Structure 1
Amino acid sequence: MNRLLLLVVLFFHALSAQAHKPSDSYLNFSVDGKIISGQWDIALRDLDFAIGLDTNGDAQITWGEVKAKQREIDAYAMARLQLQSDGLVCPTRVSDHLIDDHTDGAYVVLRFESVCAQPVTTLQTRYGLFFDIDPQHKGLLQLQYQGVSSTAIFSPEKATQQFSLTRPSRIGQFLDYAREGVWHIWIGYDHILFLLALLLPAVVIRQRKTWQAVDAFKPAFWSVLKIVTAFTLAHSITLTLATLGVISLPSRWVESTIAASVVIAALNNIYPLFRERRWMMAFLFGLIHGFGFASVLSDLGLPQSALVLALVGFNVGVETGQLAIVAAFLPVAFYLRHTLLYRKVILLGGSMLIALLAAGWLVERAFDMKFLPF
């Protein structure tokens, strides 16, 4: 039993190591004939780890410290990005530096221009930022050409990609954003832990202040279905409203409330408040989680010519990723429901660890501070 408890602790520690938004940078290319105008948003925390921006060691990166390192930042970044047109390298020059705030902190913004030898018809891009120090890092690209946008993700396995500058099909754009939705639910650990905290009691029922295994699969299935449906409906509503600009909420408030929702959902498994009405909690807090998804979608950029298509595609991707998690969880949980391992270690112990981890996120996000060692 002690070994099993240790495995659960190690599992949640592994999640906590990536509890905040994973390392991403954001590239935007706009192609016009021979000219590629680019913007590259790179997290200051990542650059600090790579080349050391915090020169006075006070854990605060100032504009002065960034400005002093501009040439080093340019050299480091542009050495890890190469653009080619039809096999010929397009020389690149950084033209401007800015600082911008994303939902997960401050980013340096590099604006640059690449001039190719002839009008670009096929663009080859090699991306290698931070891959040597963080194999989980991703580069998120939005490519704009003749008023149409397409997206791509660079990773160590897909560091070099080629783009044909023809008008993309509607189905291609839909699939691009659906893929982004799947990816972002899988790396959204606070969303995943909220969902898992709600699903953990689905295969048991509380009787006489203890959790007892359900007798059949049907009640467990219906419990999961109600929770997933409520969560999906709620975050789809606010994702749409936020993306279309109808409602806007402060990102710190949204992220703090998301962390609080994970705490409440986990503690509900230890001291039940909502009991068998967990679907109500899924809906209420799902409205806030939708704003979190919207911030990710806004970072990716939305093509105005296919706004609805991109929004629907991203939402379908989120739901697909979510259903994959449920499909992996439910059969295993149902199989283990009679065991002390499930009722004591996974349900109660796991819920306690989720609550503690999310409480740390809540304090960090609410007070804009960093104290957890991960």
Structure 2
Amino acid sequence: MKRFKQRVSLTVSLIMLALVSGTALAHKASDSFIYLNQDRGEIRIDVALRDLAVAFPLDRNGDHQLSGDEFRASRGQITRWLEQGITLSNSLGDCRLTGQQWGLSSHSDGPYAAGRYSISCPENTAPTSLHYNLLFSQDPLHRGLISLETDGASTLGVVGPDSRRFSLSVEDSPGGLQLFGTFLYEGVVHLLIGLDHILFLLVLMLPATMRNTKGEPPAGLKQRLWELTGIVTAFTVAHSVTLALAALGVVRLPIAWVETIIALSIAIAAVNVAWSILGRKTWKLAFGFGLVHGFGFASVLGDLTSGVSQTVLALAGFNIGVELGQLGLLLIAFPLLYLCGRTHLYGRAVVPIVLVAVGAISLYWVAERAMAI
């Protein structure tokens, strides 16, 4: 039995280290923003410059900086790319997009190329369908986030690799339950692809799976579950508060600073597991840094739902989705780590290696993100 537990511990350790090592080159999934006003017959498309640079070269002189001249020189290539990737149509055929304004827009995560177009459909009718096909070949996690204005009413939507069409007709507009479900799903996805949030949860979870400093077996499962419940509850309450404040526009912080502090929080949490510089009350650490992580969760939602009447419903779905993703992760990881925690190998080798790897990667993120401030 002991040998079996050691083998399980080694297997789980390899999985954890594979996850950690794979995060160093990971990047945030890309998002674009589409604002379509049927009443005015206009559409605006915003795509992050960092994502455009993946689709085709913008840095013409190779100095790793995008100048105004380089951006302006790429205008034709950018607009053609946008127009080929988004199609509006109805039963009479495809609609024509005519450029009206072009330039830069600012979102919480940096500068975006923005193009505004007038929409002209056959026989002066309105478009009833939007087909989206940007960046999926470069990033399979990419999402197009849609804000639609029709007859004075607002609705929200998401297009992705498996759902590239969005209906614009009033009859097919998503009801409250469908909208809630859409953003619930996006909340789950956002948590599961947010590797920095996952690593933070992993580090917070470790103390509840380890032997104590006297080398005695870990406390009973019930006590450990209570400890974990307190940590998760504190993190959930904290990031739910700041997610709501940011998404509703009450408090907005520069995302570059937020992402840097999130990375730093992972390093501090890892150090605290080893040396307890902030005390053994892990739930307090979870609450404090959870406030910052909430602003990170809201970086996309706040940009999309600003001024939209369905903000509260989308926010509720997104937040619950984040919690479901978090719960699913804990239900899978905690039992395995708890079982491994009953072996000497886990505390003496696995946890230290994981903490060093997580700390190193998070500090690398801190340096990388700080340079972008």
Whether 1:38 and 2:46 are equivalent positions in the alignment is no
Whether 1:94 and 2:102 are equivalent positions in the alignment is no
Change (3 A) 1:136 1:304: closer
Out of 83, 88, 91, the residue aligned to residue 88 of structure 2 is 83
Q: Which residue of structure 2 lines up, in the alignment, with residue 158 of structure 1?
A: 163
Deviates more, 1:308-317 or 1:280-289: 308-317
* Aligned residues of 1:191 and 1:289 also touching (Cα < 8 A): yes
Whether 1:298 and 2:295 are equivalent positions in the alignment is no
Q: Secondary structure in 1 aligned to 2:275?
A: coil
| Counterpart AA for 1:176 | T
Q: Which residue of structure 2 lines up, in the alignment, with residue 21 of structure 1?
A: 28
Change (3 A) 1:331 1:247: same
Change (3 A) 1:117 1:249: same
Q: Which residue of structure 1 lines up, in the alignment, with residue 152 of structure 2?
A: 147
Out of 112, 126, 130, the residue aligned to residue 125 of structure 1 is 130
CA deviation profile, 1:142-173 (whole Å, cap 9, x unmatched): 22323333333333222334344235432233
| Counterpart AA for 1:76 | W
Change (3 A) 1:187 1:103: farther
Between 1 and 2, higher relative CO (CA 8 Å, sep ≥ 6) is seen in 2
Change (3 A) 1:171 1:8: closer
| Alpha-carbon separation, structure 2, partners of 1:156 and 1:311 | 23
Whether 1:361 and 2:371 are equivalent positions in the alignment is no
Q: Which residue of structure 1 lines up, in the alignment, with residue 213 of structure 2?
A: 207
Deviates more, 1:42-51 or 1:275-284: 42-51
Deviates more, 1:116-125 or 1:76-85: 116-125
Whether 1:172 and 2:172 are equivalent positions in the alignment is no
CA deviation profile, 1:26-77 (whole Å, cap 9, x unmatched): 2222222xx6411111121222232211111110111211111111111122
| Alpha-carbon separation, structure 2, partners of 1:174 and 1:273 | 41
Q: Secondary structure in 1 aligned to 2:284?
A: helix
Q: Which residue of structure 1 lines up, in the alignment, with residue 18 of structure 2?
A: 10
Structure 1, unpaired ranges of 5+:
370-374
Deviates more, 1:324-333 or 1:120-129: 120-129
Change (3 A) 1:132 1:141: same
* Aligned residues of 1:269 and 1:348 also touching (Cα < 8 A): no
Deviates more, 1:54-63 or 1:290-299: 290-299
| Counterpart AA for 2:227 | S
Change (3 A) 1:226 1:21: same
Whether 1:116 and 2:124 are equivalent positions in the alignment is no
| Alpha-carbon separation, structure 2, partners of 1:235 and 1:286 | 5
CA deviation profile, 1:62-97 (whole Å, cap 9, x unmatched): 121111111111112211211111362111122211
Whether 1:60 and 2:68 are equivalent positions in the alignment is no
* Aligned residues of 1:86 and 1:121 also touching (Cα < 8 A): no
* Aligned residues of 1:148 and 1:303 also touching (Cα < 8 A): no
| Alpha-carbon separation, structure 2, partners of 1:339 and 1:115 | 68
State the Cα distance separating 1:24 from its structure 2 match.
2.0
* Aligned residues of 2:146 and 2:156 also touching (Cα < 8 A): yes
CA deviation profile, 1:236-259 (whole Å, cap 9, x unmatched): 222222333333333332222111
State the Cα distance separating 1:341 from its structure 2 match.
5.1
Counting aligned pairs with the same residue, the percent is 36
Deviates more, 1:250-259 or 1:193-202: 250-259
How do residues 279-358 of structure 1 correspond to structure 2 at under 5 angstroms?
A: 279-302=283-306, 304-340=308-344, 342-358=346-362
Change (3 A) 1:278 1:147: farther
CA deviation profile, 1:123-153 (whole Å, cap 9, x unmatched): 3222221223333322222223233333333
Q: Secondary structure in 2 aligned to 1:156?
A: coil
| Counterpart AA for 1:66 | F
State the Cα distance separating 1:118 from its structure 2 match.
5.5
State the Cα distance separating 1:340 from its structure 2 match.
4.5
Q: How many residues matched?
A: 364
Q: Secondary structure in 2 aligned to 1:140?
A: strand
| Alpha-carbon separation, structure 2, partners of 1:318 and 1:299 | 18
| Alpha-carbon separation, structure 2, partners of 1:145 and 1:359 | 46
| Backbone CA RMSD of aligned residues | 2.6
Deviates more, 1:215-224 or 1:271-280: 271-280
* Aligned residues of 2:262 and 2:289 also touching (Cα < 8 A): yes
| Alpha-carbon separation, structure 2, partners of 1:14 and 1:216 | 33
| Alpha-carbon separation, structure 2, partners of 1:137 and 1:271 | 39
Change (3 A) 1:4 1:158: same
State the Cα distance separating 1:179 from its structure 2 match.
2.4
Structure 2, unpaired ranges of 5+:
1-6
CA deviation profile, 1:199-227 (whole Å, cap 9, x unmatched): 1221224223x6x5424211121111001
Out of 138, 149, 155, the residue aligned to residue 143 of structure 2 is 138
| Alpha-carbon separation, structure 2, partners of 1:42 and 1:148 | 25
Change (3 A) 1:173 1:119: farther
| Alpha-carbon separation, structure 2, partners of 1:138 and 1:324 | 22
Out of 178, 194, 200, the residue aligned to residue 194 of structure 1 is 200
| Counterpart AA for 2:132 | Y
Q: Which residue of structure 1 lines up, in the alignment, with residue 281 of structure 2?
A: 277
Q: Which residue of structure 1 lines up, in the alignment, with residue 74 of structure 2?
A: 69
TM-score of the aligned structures, taking structure 2 as reference length: 0.88
State the Cα distance separating 1:325 from its structure 2 match.
1.3
State the Cα distance separating 1:113 from its structure 2 match.
2.2
Q: Which residue of structure 1 lines up, in the alignment, with residue 260 of structure 2?
A: 256
